[in-house]
Amino acid sequence: MIETIGWLSSLLFCICGAPQAYKSWKQKSSNGISTSFLLMWLGGEILGIVYILPKNDFPILVNYIINLFFISIILYYKINDKTNGTRNG
């Protein structure tokens, strides 16, 4: 039972970034999202992976990897804003 709870928790956390990643992809922009927030989120995910790898906690590792995917999409459109051709660093 506890393993199921762990997987459900990880699944819910990892899909939290999906709506914003989809919106950024659809609009070709992540305008309005703080760069500092994105960089801290990215740093937290990377450090989390480094921490969790030796522990072999697969549900949490899946969470971090999927979040890296969503952060990558959001950051891409933050850096390469396609709505007005300018950079939003």
Reported as a single tens digit per residue, the pLDDT across 45-83 is 999 999 999 998 888 888 899 999 999 999 999 999 988
Q: Is 78 a domain residue?
A: yes
Total domain count for the chain?
Answer: 1
Q: What is the model's pTM?
A: 0.79
The pLDDT value given to residue 75: 95
Q: Is 18 a domain residue?
A: no
Alpha-carbon span 46 to 41, nearest angstrom: 9
Q: What is the pLDDT of residues 2-53, one digit of tens each?
A: 888 988 888 888 898 999 999 999 999 999 999 999 999 999 999 999 999 9
Alpha-carbon span 81 to 89, nearest angstrom: 10
Q: Is 8 a domain residue?
A: no
**Residue-number span of the structural domain to which 60 is assigned:** 34-82
Q: Is 31 helix (H, G, I), strand (E, B) or coil?
A: coil
Q: Is 65 a domain residue?
A: yes
State both tokens at 39: 């960089």
Q: Is 27 a domain residue?
A: no
Minimal CA–CA distance to 60: which of 18, 10, 11? 10
The pLDDT value given to residue 14: 84
Q: Is 26 a domain residue?
A: no
The pLDDT value given to residue 87: 52
